[in-house]
């Protein structure tokens, strides 16, 4: 694989086989984020669990202390007072059956998160096969199926993220932008890792946190020393 000049320079600036303490790791990641745009800083956590087992799933949501740096567009499927509350809370789009039809007929996906009230799940379920593969299907576990739609909208706008184990037992999650700087990235890192540690399944045996890596959108991964779990 041919590496870009900037990427090649970045991987020469540190020891990729070494794990760094958090402060040094964040510094290295920010220094190797050399793209012209404001790169997203991501965390990749390998866990000592079996993702094939239902009792070893790791999933949750939290509002990062400093947000993600990305403004998410929110669609709320609700009626009556709940629709009014969603609009007042700052939802970008609010509607009911007409919005579902718009998605079906016009292939409209100008939103990042869909929130709905429980009574509208029957309507939303009609397009579950469309929403599911795109990661847009509302789910009570992620806080996107709720009667308190106003709070759900506010949390998404404030920087709520969902962390979820993939098939290879790794959690991938954004924790900010390069422009955040060391302090804000560190605060978001600590908040997310604390949540992941607390979410340890009772059925998990042995070492829980196998490895932690930080990277920028276009940059190489930097291993982080993390001893908890």
CA distance 114 to 100: 11
- DSSP letter (8 states) at residue 158: H
Which 3 state secondary structure label does DSSP give 151? helix
- Asked if 49 and 169 count as a contact pair (C-beta separation under 8 A), the reply is yes
- Asked if 151 and 59 count as a contact pair (C-beta separation under 8 A), the reply is no
Which 3 state secondary structure label does DSSP give 7? helix
Q: 40-47 and 209-216: which strand pairing?
A: antiparallel
pLDDT in tens, the chain (229 residues): 555 666 656 666 667 789 999 999 999 999 988 889 999 999 999 999 999 999 999 999 999 999 999 899 999 999 999 999 999 999 999 999 999 999 999 999 999 999 999 999 999 999 999 999 998 999 998 899 999 999 999 999 999 999 999 999 999 999 999 999 999 999 999 999 999 999 999 999 899 999 999 999 988 899 999 876 5
Which position has the token pair 């593969």?
A: 133
Note the pTM of the prediction, 2 decimals. Answer: 0.82
CA distance 149 to 116: 7
Structure-derived torsion over alpha carbons of residues 68, 69, 70, 72, reported in degrees to the nearest 10: 60
φ/ψ of 98, rounded to 5, equals: -65, -30
């Amino acid at each position: 694989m041919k590496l870009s000049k900037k990427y090649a320079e970045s991987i020469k600036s540190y020891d990729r086989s070494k794990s760094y303490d958090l402060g040094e790791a964040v510094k290295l990641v920010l220094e190797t984020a050399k793209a012209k745009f404001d790169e997203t800083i991501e965390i990749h956590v390998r866990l000592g669990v079996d993702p094939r087992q239902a009792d070893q799933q790791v999933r949750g949501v939290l509002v990062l202390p400093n947000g993600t740096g990305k403004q998410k567009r929110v669609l709320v499927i609700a009626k009556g007072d709940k629709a009014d509350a969603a609009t007042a809370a700052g939802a970008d789009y609010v509607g009911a059956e007409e919005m579902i039809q718009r998605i079906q007929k016009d292939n409209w996906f100008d939103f990042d998160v869909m929130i709905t009230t429980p009574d509208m799940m029957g309507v939303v379920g009609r397009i579950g096969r469309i929403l599911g593969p795109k990661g847009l299907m509302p789910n009570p576990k992620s806080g996107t199926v709720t009667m308190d739609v106003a709070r759900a909208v506010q949390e998404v706008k404030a920087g709520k993220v969902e962390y979820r184990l993939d098939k290879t037992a790794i959690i991938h999650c954004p924790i900010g932008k390069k422009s955040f700087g060391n302090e804000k990235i560190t605060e978001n890192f600590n908040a997310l890792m604390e949540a992941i540690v607390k979410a340890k399944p009772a059925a998990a045996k042995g070492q829980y946190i196998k490895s932690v890596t930080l990277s920028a959108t276009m940059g190489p991964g930097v291993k982080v020393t993390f001893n908890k779990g």
